[in-house]
């Protein structure tokens, strides 16, 4: 019984490889061998898809032509939405006093007055809106314009004075170049000029008609030889955003009308013999129409509407529309279920003491956490991606079938929104895992993750909070990551309700996602530190 | 050197509780070393320190001269069973072994081998949560054997085992030692280690009280005492006291004699013609030897700290 007579045991077992791939495989085996976790992930994906499709299936469009006529639904009710040169939906309604212009040339006008009226939405007597208040809207526009045709959605370039944003050059709906600030009066008129040279249109501005300053230039591809040139006036919906004591934000508004006085209107170039013609471009069945009066070279033009990209939540300019990310609203619910599974992936080990076996098998603890994070992150990503693809594909198809206009997005944006949602879920799962390591209790970990990510998101987008508070929540909390889902673009030159409720996040998509990643990284850091320091 | 555990001067506190207070011992290859002591003596904590799970405040525990944490494919160096309940109840026993095998780069074939070795065939597709404690112990043994390690640690492996299982376990431990492996088996019940352990490390209050062979321990505990069975109790006591022995009454017709070897007891009684029916050298049980050794530790535990074991978990 002395060690001298004993031959210590030597294993004849072929030694396996010892590396990170082996650890990954072990953690994957762990995950897939607990049926509840696999089912949990499937449920999370299903919840996401069903909530997303519910959002799409819930909407409907209906209209009634009058008593006794059948109610029509879907596309039949919706006037065609003009599409801009790039194929995106636009708002294109204004009053246009125009003449054809062939080849190169220029249009110049002196703006001597710009005034406005607006109402709060009442239509007394059914005779058209009442406009009891005086004043311009910030983005009321009056100026000179060169446009491909009077067809709504056609290409254009314009230089204009705005209600409170000074002189701007705008073209093709989304482009906006700032010129000098200031307003207009009879004492200090504004000279505005556009010159066409081929497909290039250059905008100028002057105080005296002698000294001209260049505002900007636009290149309008495929502009035909003959275009329409003239003066235009338009004025967007008047909107007031109020916040009640309870914090609820509501917008009210009404139509507005701008009236501009131009003189010294001159069109230089090859023009036809006809005179000036006036058109309500894109007025549709709007009750508020513009018009113009010409007397002794002075044009008095009234117009209402806007020339701008179409946005889903523009008060007054709204039309039945949907965004691709609307079909991903279920992500928050899927996230909760996924966070439960992710937290349990580690807390179940603490609860049973299994963590000791795990760490005895793999004493390099950081690697264990890395392997777990990679496995749960990948599983969540794949489940989230499948759910997002299904929800968006079917949701968009459903919405279109019902007559909704679905805001088009580039392939890159669609990939960012769909894969980004999956990545958002994956990062949240890693965060849940890390919090699980820190707290070692699944209920507590899930509660922390839900309060940190889902609660701020729901509070912000469900318009429970004032818009300002909602914005801050979506900047500072991990819920900022939901910004990755935003496909809509916010335009500085379009007054709209850019709130989380309307689908606009205060941070850019990747910036918001980075905030979430920052939280996850911090949690993983703390988890690593504790995992290495604490006794198992 | 590969197949040894060297524990030297381990100290560890859990808050105010001293769990390990200079624990030192060696587990050599080819032997079953029993690791015994009352609950809270520091057995589990020592095992966790050996496995790199708990960090000691002082001292070190080395496997073949190396820290556990520095081992690559540790399960091929040390197999361990700390807690048979440490498994995911909804995972099948086979999957439990499979992930462990994967973590060491081992194959499913090895899993099937250890399943057979532990006598778990036929039950491995079932969820481990439905296992009895005895079956969980076997599953834990299978997990410990996965890497075919030269060093094995078992914490209370007899817990929950039926008599048949205990016999199996004893034989299993013996066979492991017979192959030249170093085997450390903790137990708070000495009787479980009877016939299984070659050596005993008896601990109390976080330190080693005795580190000795089982035979030596029993001899020491027996203390040369003699059991005497006689109808003439009073006469025998008088005679033996006169011969210089200390006599205690242990029954209606039995006496325990110390300070006098058995042959001299027989001679003294014969000289005085005191009748007796039996004289035998008393052989202490392992249990008694253990009780003797750990009495202090138990008292300490009862009076002062009731929670070092719990705190250590």
What letter does residue A6 receive in the DSSP assignment? -
- Under an 8 A CB cutoff, do B83 and A535 touch? no
Smallest CA–CA separation between B61 and chain A, in Å?
14
- Under an 8 A CB cutoff, do B147 and A8 touch? no
- Residue in B closest to A348 by C-alpha: B88
Q: What is the pLDDT of residue A66?
A: 60
- Under an 8 A CB cutoff, do A29 and B89 touch? no
CA distance A479 to A305: 36
User: What's the mean pLDDT when you consider all of chain A?
Assistant: 88
Contact between A111 and A205 under an 8 Å Cβ cutoff? The reply is no
Residue B244 is encoded by which pair of tokens? 């210089």
Residue A495 is encoded by which pair of tokens? 């007054």
Share above pLDDT 70 across residues of chain A, in percent, rounded to a whole number: 88
Residues in chain A whose beta carbon is closer than 8 A to a beta carbon of chain B? Answer: 1, 3, 5-13, 15-19, 22-23, 25-27, 29-30, 33-36, 348-349, 352-354, 356-364, 535-536
Per-domain residue ranges of chain A: 20-57+322-487+497-533, 90-317
CA distance B308 to B300: 12
Q: What are the chain A neighbours of B75 within 8 Å (beta carbons)?
A: 360-361
Residue A67 is encoded by which pair of tokens? 């008593």
Q: Which of B1, B102, B181 sits opposite A26 (nearest CB)?
A: B102
Neighbours of A306 (CB within 10 A): 28
Smallest CA–CA separation between B292 and chain A, in Å?
25
Alpha helices in A353-410 (DSSP H): 354-361, 365-401
A241-271: buried (b, 16+ CB within 10 Å) or exposed (e) per residue?
eeeeeeeebebebbbbbbbbbbeebebebee
- A531 vs A19, which has greater pLDDT? A531
Residues 6+ positions from B163 with CB-CB distance below 8 Å: none
- Under an 8 A CB cutoff, do A11 and B213 touch? no
ipTM: 0.83
Q: Which fold has domain A90-317?
A: Jelly Rolls (2.60.120)
Q: Which of B78, B83, B180 sits opposite A8 (nearest CB)?
A: B180
A47-59: buried (b, 16+ CB within 10 Å) or exposed (e) per residue?
bbbbbbbebbeee
Residues 6+ positions from A130 with CB-CB distance below 8 Å: A119, A122, A123, A124
The confidence band for B305, taking pLDDT boundaries of 50, 70 and 90, is very low
Q: Which of A3, A16, A364 sits opposite B30 (nearest CB)?
A: A3
Q: What are the chain A neighbours of B105 within 8 Å (beta carbons)?
A: 15-19, 22
A411-439 and A331-352 helices cross at what angle (nearest 10)?
A: 30
Is the per-residue pLDDT at A1 higher than 60? no
The confidence band for B218, taking pLDDT boundaries of 50, 70 and 90, is confident
- Under an 8 A CB cutoff, do A35 and B90 touch? yes
Q: What is the pLDDT of residue A64?
A: 63
Q: What is the pLDDT of residue B310?
A: 44
Contact between A334 and A48 under an 8 Å Cβ cutoff? The reply is yes
Condensed to tens digits (0 to 9), the pLDDT of residues A259-289 reads: 999 999 999 887 776 789 898 888 765 657 7
Condensed to tens digits (0 to 9), the pLDDT of residues A210-226 reads: 999 999 999 998 899 99
- Under an 8 A CB cutoff, do B103 and A22 touch? yes
Condensed to tens digits (0 to 9), the pLDDT of residues B246-257 reads: 888 888 888 888
- Under an 8 A CB cutoff, do A13 and B148 touch? yes
- Under an 8 A CB cutoff, do A354 and B87 touch? yes
CA distance A325 to A488: 9
Q: B105, B110, B113, B143: which to substitute to probe chain A, counting the most A Cβ within 10 Å?
A: B105
Contact between A254 and A159 under an 8 Å Cβ cutoff? The reply is no
Q: What is the pLDDT of residue A18?
A: 76
Q: What is the pLDDT of residue A534?
A: 92
Smallest CA–CA separation between B148 and chain A, in Å?
6
Q: What are the chain B neighbours of A3 within 8 Å (beta carbons)?
A: 28-31
Residues B214-230 have a mean pLDDT of 79
Contact between B69 and B216 under an 8 Å Cβ cutoff? The reply is no
**Paired residues of B199 in beta bridges:** B33, B213
What does A441-484 look like in DSSP terms, one character per residue?
-HHHHHHHHIIIIIHHHHHHHTT-S-HHHHHHHHHHSGGGGGGG
- A304 vs B313, which has greater pLDDT? A304
CA distance B72 to A464: 55
Going A307 to A309 to A315 to A316, the CA torsion angle's sign is: positive
Q: Which of B4, B55, B80 sits opposite A360 (nearest CB)?
A: B80
Q: A1, A7, A8, A368: which to substitute to probe chain B, counting the most B Cβ within 10 Å?
A: A8
Residues A431-458 have a mean pLDDT of 95
Give the containing element (helix H, strand E) for A226.
Answer: strand A226-234
**Paired residues of B227 in beta bridges:** B256, B280
Q: What is the pLDDT of residue A314?
A: 47
Q: What is the pLDDT of residue A3?
A: 46
- What is the model's pTM? 0.85
Q: A361, A365, A372: which to substitute to probe chain B, counting the most B Cβ within 10 Å?
A: A361
Least confident of A159-173, A241-255, A403-417, B221-235: A241-255
Share above pLDDT 90 across residues of chain B, in percent, rounded to a whole number: 52
Q: What is the pLDDT of residue B191?
A: 76
Nearest-CA neighbor of B62 among B25, B18, B11?
A: B25
A229-240: buried (b, 16+ CB within 10 Å) or exposed (e) per residue?
bbbbbbbbbbbe
Residues 6+ positions from B74 with CB-CB distance below 8 Å: A360, A361, A362, A363, B68, B104, B147
Least confident of A175-189, A340-354, B13-27: A175-189
Q: What is the pLDDT of residue A119?
A: 82
Q: What are the chain B neighbours of A1 within 8 Å (beta carbons)?
A: 31, 198-199, 213
CA distances from A31 to A38, A248, A251, A350, B88 (A): 7, 44, 49, 15, 11
Is the per-residue pLDDT at A388 higher than 70? yes
- Residue in A closest to B4 by C-alpha: A8
Q: What is the pLDDT of residue A493?
A: 85
CA distance B86 to B103: 17
Contact between A302 and A259 under an 8 Å Cβ cutoff? The reply is yes
Q: What is the pLDDT of residue A271?
A: 73
Residues A160-185 have a mean pLDDT of 92
What does A28-71 look like in DSSP terms, one character per residue?
HHHHHT-HHHHHHHHHHHHHHHHHHHHHHHH---EE--STTSPP
Residue A42 exposed, middle or buried by CB count within 10 Å (0-12, 13-18, 19+): middle
Contact between B113 and A13 under an 8 Å Cβ cutoff? The reply is no
Smallest CA–CA separation between A462 and chain B, in Å?
38
């Amino acid at each position: 019984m002395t060690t001298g007579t004993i031959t210590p045991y030597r294993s004849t077992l072929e030694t396996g490889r010892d590396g990170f791939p082996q650890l990954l495989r072990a953690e994957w085996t762990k995950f897939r061998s607990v049926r509840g976790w696999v089912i949990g992930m499937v449920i999370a994906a299903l919840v996401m898809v069903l909530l997303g499709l519910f959002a799409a299936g819930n909407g409907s469009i209906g209209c009634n032509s009058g008593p006794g006529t059948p109610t029509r639904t879907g596309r039949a009710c919706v006037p065609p939405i003009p599409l801009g040169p790039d194929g995106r939906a636009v708002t294109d309604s204004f009053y246009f006093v125009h003449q054809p212009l062939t080849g190169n040339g220029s249009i110049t006008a002196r703006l001597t007055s710009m005034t406005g009226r607006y109402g709060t939405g009442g239509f007394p007597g059914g005779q058209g809106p009442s406009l009891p208040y005086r004043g311009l809207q910030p983005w009321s526009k009056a100026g000179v314009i060169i446009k491909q045709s009077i067809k709504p959605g056609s290409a254009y370039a314009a230089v204009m004075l705005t209600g409170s944003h000074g002189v701007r050059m705008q073209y093709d709906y989304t482009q906006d170049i700032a010129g000098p600030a200031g307003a207009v009066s009879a004492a200090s008129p504004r000279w505005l000029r556009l010159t066409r040279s081929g497909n290039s249109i250059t905008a100028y501005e002057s105080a005296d008609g002698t000294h001209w300053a260049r505002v900007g230039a636009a290149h309008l591809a495929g502009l035909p030889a003959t275009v329409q040139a003239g003066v235009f006036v338009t004025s967007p919906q008047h909107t007031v955003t109020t916040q009640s004591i309870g914090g609820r934000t509501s917008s009210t508004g009404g139509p507005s009308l701008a009236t501009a006085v131009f003189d010294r209107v001159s069109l230089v170039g090859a023009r036809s013999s006809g005179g000036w013609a006036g058109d309500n471009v894109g007025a549709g069945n709007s009750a508020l129409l513009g018009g113009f009066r010409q007397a002794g070279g002075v044009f008095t033009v009234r117009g209402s509407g806007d020339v701008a990209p179409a946005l889903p939540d523009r008060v007054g300019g709204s039309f039945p529309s949907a965004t691709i990310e609307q079909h991903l609203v279920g992500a928050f619910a899927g996230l909760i279920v996924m966070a439960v599974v992710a937290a349990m992936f580690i807390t179940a080990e603490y609860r049973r003491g299994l963590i000791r076996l795990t760490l005895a098998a793999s004493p390099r603890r950081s690697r264990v956490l890395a392997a777990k994070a990679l496995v749960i992150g990948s599983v969540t990503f794949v489940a989230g991606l499948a759910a997002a693809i299904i929800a968006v594909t079917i949701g968009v198809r459903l919405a279109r079938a019902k007559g909704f206009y679905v805001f088009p997005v580039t392939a890159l944006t669609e990939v960012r929104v769909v894969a980004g949602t999956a990545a958002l879920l994956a990062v949240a799962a890693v965060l849940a895992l890390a919090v699980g390591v820190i707290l070692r209790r699944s209920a507590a970990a899930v509660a922390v993750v839900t309060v940190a990510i889902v609660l701020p998101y729901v509070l912000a987008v469900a318009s429970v909070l004032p818009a300002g508070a909602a914005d801050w929540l979506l900047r500072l909390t991990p819920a900022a990551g939901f910004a990755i889902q935003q496909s809509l673009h916010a335009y500085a030159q379009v007054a709209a309700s850019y709130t989380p409720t309307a689908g606009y996040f205060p941070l850019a998509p990747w910036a918001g996602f980075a905030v979430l990643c920052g939280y996850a990284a911090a949690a993983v850091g703390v988890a690593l530190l504790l995992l290495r320091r604490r006794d198992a | 050197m590969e197949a040894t555990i060297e524990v030297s001067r381990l100290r560890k506190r859990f808050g105010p509780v001293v769990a390990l207070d200079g624990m030192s011992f060696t587990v050599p290859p080819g032997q079953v070393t029993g690791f015994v002591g009352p609950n809270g003596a520091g057995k589990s904590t020592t095992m966790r320190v050996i496995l790199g799970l708990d960090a000691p405040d002082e001292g070190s525990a080395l496997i073949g001269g190396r820290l556990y944490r520095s081992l690559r494919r540790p399960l091929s160096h040390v197999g361990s069973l700390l807690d048979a309940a440490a498994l995911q109840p909804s995972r099948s026993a086979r999957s439990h072994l499979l992930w462990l095998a994967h973590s060491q780069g081992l194959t499913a074939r090895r899993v099937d081998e250890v399943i057979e070795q532990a006598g778990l065939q036929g039950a491995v597709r079932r969820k481990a949560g439905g296992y009895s404690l005895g079956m969980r112990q076997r599953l834990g043994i299978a997990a410990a054997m996965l890497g075919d390690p030269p060093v094995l640690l078992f914490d209370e492996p007899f817990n929950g085992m039926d008599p048949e299982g205990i016999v199996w376990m004893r034989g299993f431990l013996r066979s492991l030692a017979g192959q030249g492996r170093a085997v450390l088996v903790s137990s708070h019940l000495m009787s479980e280690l009877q016939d299984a352990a070659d050596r005993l490390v008896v601990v109390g209050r976080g330190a080693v009280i005795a580190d000795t062979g089982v035979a030596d321990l029993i001899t020491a505990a027996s203390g040369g005492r003699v059991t005497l069975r006689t109808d003439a109790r009073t006469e025998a006591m008088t005679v033996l006291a006169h011969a210089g022995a200390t006599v205690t009454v242990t029954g209606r017709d039995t006496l325990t004699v110390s300070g006098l070897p058995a042959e001299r007891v027989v001679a003294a009684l014969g000289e005085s013609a005191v009748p007796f029916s039996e004289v035998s050298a008393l052989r202490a049980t392992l249990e008694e030897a253990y009780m003797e050794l750990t009495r202090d530790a138990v008292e300490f535990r009862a009076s002062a700290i009731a929670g070092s074991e719990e705190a250590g978990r």
